Amino acid sequence: MRGAKQVASPNCDARPFGVEAELIVVHGISLPPGEFGGPWIEQFFTNTLPLDAHPYFAEIGDLKVSSHLVIARYGDLTQFVSFDHRAWHAGQSNYRGRSACNDFSIGIELEGVDTLAYESAQYDTLGAVIAALCDAYPRLSPDRVVGHSDISPGRKTDPGPAFDWGCARERVAAARQ
């Protein structure tokens, strides 16, 4: 993605043959939980997280996780996986009766937690990214944007009640004009 810092994650693979991106999944992430900044998310997505740096890291150290994009608190954008590949962001998931959402989705992580408002700069970047993705991929649309909690109910809560869906839709609409 133009303007994004590029960091390759090994935690990805090819999409199934003939499958294209047709869903955008918005996530929330902070490492350690509730803390922002630092190298931890990038290290987590590249399997270089030092497990002794925080007690929580030992709990998640065996996970192989990635996302296509991460939007930091002040709107900075990092791309970890090509949009043409499958990032490992959704896990066990279902969208309108179709399981394995990683196969057909693009994952966007926002640095944040469920209960703290996301930053205006994050909504600006998210709106621009979603608009660009919808222009580039014909099966995507602003109506096909969901939260991780929507496709993994009971298992995941992000991006959480602090995420302002109305604000996100407004920023997408503004970016598409």
Which residues have a catalytic role annotated? 109
Q: Is 100 exposed, middle or buried (0-12, 13-18, 19+ CB in 10 A)?
A: middle
Pairing label, strands 85-87, 12-14: antiparallel
Element at 35 (helix H, strand E): none
106 bridge partner residues: 24
Q: Phi-psi bin for 82: left (phi > 0), alpha (psi -120 to 50), beta?
A: beta
